[in-house]
A = this chain, B = another copy of it.
């Protein structure tokens, strides 16, 4: 379910974080779904439980999941703040691309292609 890459420059806890964010965004994990327990996932990925817990803690503080002591961690969905942040990143990226002479039409074509794949 989650793939760690030790050559990746991102810290492990963030790879876990990003993986779950991605899966929730993509609808692979749905609201109410139960995440694997901290110890379970740590065992499976062969890393320390504290590392998983840090990822879960951050996911909770960002509103992706809710953790209940003694019960487990459960998916809440994609928080609104995420969409806003992605849009801000989108704008700055588009700005960079346009300033290096990339044609606006090419970007639009790429969006439409992505939209077809997604539909």
Q: Does A86 lie at the interface of the complex (its beta carbon under 8 Å from any beta carbon of B)?
A: yes
Asked if residues A87 and B104 are in contact (CB atoms below 8 Å), the reply is: no
A residues 62-88 near B (Cβ < 8 Å) are 66, 68-69, 71, 74, 76, 78, 82-83, 86-87
B91 in contact with A90 (CB, 8 Å): no
- Size class of A's contact patch? 35 or more
| Given contacts A83-B100, A97-B83, A114-B94, A6 and B107 within 8 Å (CB-CB) | no
On whether the beta carbons of B100 and A25 are closer than 8 Å, the reply is yes
A11 within 8 A of B: yes
Quickly give the copy total for this chain.
Answer: 4
A83 to B112, CA, bound (A): 20
Q: Quick check: is A111 within 8 A (CB to CB) of the other chain?
A: yes
Give the interface of A toward B (CB within 8 A).
6-9, 11, 22, 25-27, 61, 66, 68-69, 71, 74, 76, 78, 82-83, 86-87, 89-91, 93-100, 102, 104, 107-108, 110-112, 114-115, 118
Q: List 12 A-B contacts (CB under 8 A).
A: A7-B66, A78-B100, A86-B93, A87-B97, A87-B102, A90-B110, A94-B110, A95-B118, A98-B111, A104-B112, A104-B114, A104-B115
